[in-house]
Amino acid sequence: MKKTVSGIMLTLLLIGMLTLTFNITPVVATDSLNDPLGTPNSSDPNLPGDHPPTTYFMWTGHGGLKISAIGSPAAPNPSGSFNISGIPAGSSIVKAVMYTTSFEQSPVSVSATLSGNALSAVTPFAHDAGTGYSYYDLCSWRWDVTAIVTGDGIYPFTTSGMAGQAFLSALVVVYSNPSEPLRQVIINDGAESLYAETGTETSTSTFSNVQAGTGTLIICTSADDSLGTSESISFNGIVILGPGDVFWGNLGYPAGLFHLSVSAVAGTNTVNVTTDIDWIGWHIAILISELPPPACMPVGGYSFPIQVQTKTEPIIPYIALIATLTAIFTKLRPKTKRKR
């Protein structure tokens, strides 16, 4: 009996020692960015809505906007070729901006080239830092390339200086052309890291001083994957895409570009991006509104009412009075000359 009890106690002691030695922990599921799923904790990479895209550029005139965006397979220093098309011949380039994005351990300087032109190294104009895991800091870089872009064409680019996971690069071009409709273009940009270990997380980007009109909302996201089920895009409180697996790399693995028809109201307009366990980056929100033509002369010109004489008495007395005054004036003129 004593031997049996001693054997049991020895077995329990050995199990305890093995547990302490190997520090056994349960295995948790992970998404494509190695983000542990489950109960939210202090390692949550962000706060909802803390770095939404904000207004960078606004323009109103006869013209429009074209965008080319490219997805990158979670590798640093993306490269490729932007394809800009649809700009009418004879247009002038108002603004051209090149973007690239990456999840980094910390903000780093990145340099680039566009069509063989060197672009100086810049730090992120926006970044959304997190804690707890590597490559939590979502960074966005941009360069003004107005002097390089001339219109439709292929624009090769390269980047260097990254160490993390790059997913999205884009070239945005605003042009003017007198044959185009009158439009208002507002470009919002930033670096919003969105992720919810439970439930959903939403970020809101605001367009101010908007002129009412019908048009297009453009959204660019990065790090899209197929995990989401409650993702959506809303404009002025109305869901215009989703809910469902909205952010699922329509630019290839894994980035998204969305063109959505909207009606803008005068004043302030908002766009909400909502995700769940699909950890995404939100970088660009563009609102293009086609405005009604200004007040001007209609085709054929204006017509004005003609004032018609309505008096019934004859005008002969008036003619006689004018003739008399003319004769008197004629007689006075020679006398006046003699006095001089």
Return phi, psi of residue 287, to 5°: -115, 120
Is pLDDT above 60 for 32? no
Rounded to an integer, what distance in angstroms lies between the CA atom of residue 231 and that of residue 249? 13
- pLDDT at res. 327: 66
Cβ contacts of 168 within 8 Å, gap of 6 or more: 69, 70, 71, 72, 99, 100, 101, 220, 221, 222, 251, 255, 281, 283
Unique residue bearing structure tokens 């640093």? 76
What is the DSSP code (8-state) at residue 334? Answer: H
Strand runs labelled E in the chain: 54-75, 80-84, 92-104, 110-114, 117-122, 126-128, 137-144, 153-160, 166-176, 182-194, 201-210, 213-222, 231-235, 238-244, 255-264, 267-275, 280-290
Which of 4-13, 150-159, 183-192, 269-278 shows the lowest per-residue confidence on average (mean pLDDT)? 4-13
Cα dist from 320 to 49, 317, 324, 333, whole Å? 88, 5, 6, 21
Q: Flag whether pLDDT at 43 surpasses 60.
A: no
Region 255-284: what's the mean pLDDT?
95
Q: What is the tens place of the pLDDT at every residue in 56-69?
A: 999 999 999 999 99
- Contact criterion met (CB below 8 Å) for 150 and 126: no
How many Cβ atoms sit within 10 Å of the Cβ of residue 171? 24
DSSP string, 27-59: ---B-TT-PBPSS--TT----TTSS--EEEEEE
Which whole number is the average pLDDT over 10-14?
Answer: 46
Exposure string of 61-99, with b = 16+ CB inside 10 Å and e = fewer, is bebbbbbbbbbbebebbbbeebebeebeeebebbbbbbb
Residue 249's pLDDT is 79
Question: Can you tell me the mean pLDDT for 214-234?
Answer: 92
Indicate if the pLDDT at residue 187 is higher than 50.
Answer: yes
Amino acid 293: pLDDT: 79
Which of the two residues, 282 and 309, has the higher pLDDT score?
282
Q: Which residue has the higher pLDDT, 293 or 298?
A: 293
pLDDT over 90 at 182, yes or no: yes
Phi, psi at 167, each rounded to 5°: -125, -25
The pLDDT of residue 194 is 87
pLDDT tens, residue by residue, 96-148: 999 999 999 889 999 999 999 999 999 999 999 865 455 688 999 999 999 99
Predicted local distance difference test score (pLDDT) of residue 340: 42
- Residue bearing tokens 């809101």: 204
Residue 42 pLDDT greater than 70, yes or no: no
Averaged pLDDT of the chain: 81
CA angle (91, 95, 100) in 5-degree steps: 125
- Residue 210 has what pLDDT? 97
User: Which pLDDT does position 54 carry in this prediction?
Assistant: 97
Q: Over 70: is that where the pLDDT of 44 sits?
A: no
Q: Pick the residue with more confidence: 314 or 228?
A: 228
> What tens digit of pLDDT does each residue of 153-177 get?
999 999 999 999 999 999 999 999 9
What pLDDT score does 75 carry?
87
Q: Is the pLDDT of residue 40 over 50?
A: no
